[in-house]
Amino acid sequence: MNSNARQSDSLPAPGADALAQSEALTGLIRERIAAAGGWLPFDRYMDLVLYAPGFGYYSGGAMKFGRRGEDGSDFVTAPELSPLFATTLARPVAQALQQSGTRQLMEFGAGTGKLAAGLMNALADLDIHFDSYAIVDLSGELRARQRETIEREAPGLAAKVKWLDSLPDSFEGVVIGNEVLDAMPVRLVARKLGAWHERGVVLLNDRLAFDDRPITRDAQVELIDAAIDDANDEPFAEYVTETHEAALGFTKTICTMLVRGAAFFIDYGFPRREFYHAQRASGTLMCHYRHRAHPEPFLYPGLQDITAHVEFTGIAEAGVETGADLLGFTSQARFLLNAGVTDVLGELDPSDVRRFLPAANAVQKLLSEAEMGELFKVIAFSRGIPGTLDAFATGDRSHTL
């Protein structure tokens, strides 16, 4: 048993090989804690458990994406849920390529490759010509799965795909990031009796544990302090939340790299005023293991996903700071409806019940307020695109940022 695991009875235990990998990563974390003087900031811990070469959740060999915990996966994403997600997303992507006069695509965190294969096929069906589809993914195991999926599902277009180890200085085309921002490491901060502390990781009785240290002055925390008071009718003596330096830096990097075209980011989260509402006074950090969500980031390091909701106002500010235009911001449901998801579904034969009903049920999950439709948002930045896109034509929420 992993020495730090407090396994819930409802969570299945990993196999021996997975546990050995987790133990090796835990050993590395212990070394990093010692090297840091006994206290490691949480964002550095999160970076290790997700991305440590060979051991981290996204850089190791865990299955991650799937429909059921029984298949060894931990969560399902929209492209895995329904191929109609990619088919619909292809429409605003095609419009962005046409309006910007560009012919390249780049996807971050491409999962199993289903979104890439679906997008390329749909673009071909729309008679949209592109020169290349670049994928940026740290996981060698996922790169292999992506290559296999693309060669199987988009064989005529597989030659256009390339995997990047580093970003180009400039890029002209369309960038796609589906559930990428939520996987960026976050700092944890806590307001206790009116004073702010940063939450770090220590060894307590030979187990990983949280420990808080006072913060003297910090620009991000000062912004959060004001945002919490603005979002609520009464002040909070105690409040736990995250700061998103990695996601903000990533957004700036992409929008700086983008010389012409558009960048679409699809993820779950809220504008700043909603993000810091009293409902989230305990923070948004969450772990995903075998399709079950739980709040224990020290359970099985490297074998579970750790995420935090996206604070979209900060993302918008980061992109606009680079000189990029905010192309739009809306819910996933409104974005897909504007992009024609019901038309895409209507192309299926309703009398073919075996095919149509599962497709309709999946689309319902993509659109439903109780599922992914409202919690997930789409934010896009652009350069060289006049006006907006049809997918943001109605229901744009940029004014809420």
How many domains does the chain divide into? 1
Domain enclosing residue 63, as ranges: 1-184+244-275+288-401
Percent of the chain with pLDDT over 90: 81
Percent of the chain with pLDDT over 70: 94
What is the pLDDT confidence band of residue 4, given thresholds at 50, 70 and 90? low
Does the residue 270 lie in any domain?
yes
| Per-residue model confidence (pLDDT) at position 267 | 98
Of the chain, the end-to-end C-alpha distance in Å amounts to 45
What is the pLDDT confidence band of residue 73, given thresholds at 50, 70 and 90? low
Domain of 112, CATH number, reads 3.40.50.12710
Does the residue 217 lie in any domain?
no
Query: What is the pTM assigned to this prediction?
Result: 0.93
| Per-residue model confidence (pLDDT) at position 147 | 96
For residue range 244-294, what is the model confidence (pLDDT) as tens digits? 999 999 999 999 999 999 999 999 999 999 999 999 999 999 999 878 889
| Per-residue model confidence (pLDDT) at position 14 | 85
Does the residue 28 lie in any domain?
yes
Q: What is the DSSP string of 272-294?
A: HHHHTSGGGTT---EEEETTEEE
For residue range 282-320, what is the model confidence (pLDDT) as tens digits? 999 999 987 888 999 999 999 999 999 999 999 999 999
pLDDT of residue 71 exceeding 60 = no
| Per-residue model confidence (pLDDT) at position 5 | 47
Does the residue 9 lie in any domain?
yes
Does the residue 282 lie in any domain?
no
Distance CA 400, CA 139 (A): 36
| Per-residue model confidence (pLDDT) at position 395 | 98
What CA–CA distances, in Å, run from 7 to 43, 203, 318?
Answer: 23, 18, 39
**Best CA proximity match to 20, nearest among 2, 45, 6, 46:** 2
Does the residue 54 lie in any domain?
yes
pLDDT of residue 2 exceeding 70 = no
Place of tokens 């133990």: 23
Question: Which of 109-123, 225-239, 275-289, 303-317 has the lowest average pLDDT?
Answer: 225-239
Does the residue 101 lie in any domain?
yes
pLDDT of residue 52 exceeding 60 = yes
217/176: higher pLDDT: 176
* CB 250 within 8 Å of CB 257: no
Question: Which of 53-67, 70-84, 331-345 has the lowest average pLDDT?
Answer: 53-67
| Per-residue model confidence (pLDDT) at position 66 | 47
Does the residue 215 lie in any domain?
no
Question: Which segments of 203-278 does DSSP mark as H helices, in order?
Answer: 219-231, 245-257, 272-275
What CA–CA distances, in Å, run from 353 to 82, 341, 358, 359?
Answer: 16, 19, 8, 10
pLDDT of residue 18 exceeding 80 = yes
For residue range 24-42, what is the model confidence (pLDDT) as tens digits? 999 999 999 999 999 999 9
Convert 174-212 into a string of H (helix), E (strand) and C (coil). EEEEECCHHHCCCEEEEEECCEEEEEEEEEECCEEEEEE
pLDDT of residue 180 exceeding 60 = yes
| Per-residue model confidence (pLDDT) at position 7 | 47
Question: Which of 62-66, 98-102, 227-231, 243-247 has the lowest average pLDDT?
Answer: 62-66
